[in-house]
A = this chain, B = another copy of it.
Amino acid sequence: MDVGAVMGKLRGGGFKATPQRWEVVRAIAAEQHQSMEEIRARCPGVGMVTVYRTLELLSGLGLIRRLDLGGGPRWELAEDHHHHLVCESCGDVTEFDLCPLDPGLLDLSDHGFEARSHSVEVYGRCSVCQ
């Protein structure tokens, strides 16, 4: 989902498309799993309070997602699924594309749960830290 689509969904939800929100969404879209600090650095013109409020608004609408992989919260556009490699030594987070989930094994009918998306985190040691 691109920046325009996110803003469209915002307006569709009855929220205003302010310049500040454009900036914040553009900042988030620029790179996955950024910290608050990184996002703020990409929005020099937007007040801190507004960044906080926009992140909360967007995640409430399911458009972005908050992660905690160690070292404070991080944010990313909510895709259907995403897969992270988290190094337990240096804290580095990278992504891998191939989804290792076997749909046949994901049977949630017992729980009556309606799945919308998922995430997989693999913990271990990155090539540098080994």
Closest B residue to A72 by beta carbon equals B68
Copies of this chain in its oligomeric complex: 2
Partner of A130 from B112, B122, B130 at Cβ < 8 Å: B112
List the 8 closest pairs (A to B, CB-CB), nearest first: A68-B68, A112-B127, A102-B102, A100-B106, A100-B105, A116-B124, A115-B124, A118-B122
Number of chain A residues close to chain B: CB under 8 A: 41
Contact of A73 among B68, B113, B120, B121 (CB under 8 A): B68
Is the CB–CB distance between B113 and A105 below 8 Å? no
Whether B123 lies near A115 (C-beta < 8 A) is: yes
State the Cβ distance, A121 to closest chain B Cβ, in Å: 5
Please measure, in the bound complex, the distance between the C-alpha atom of A98 and the C-alpha atom of B12, giving whole angstroms: 38
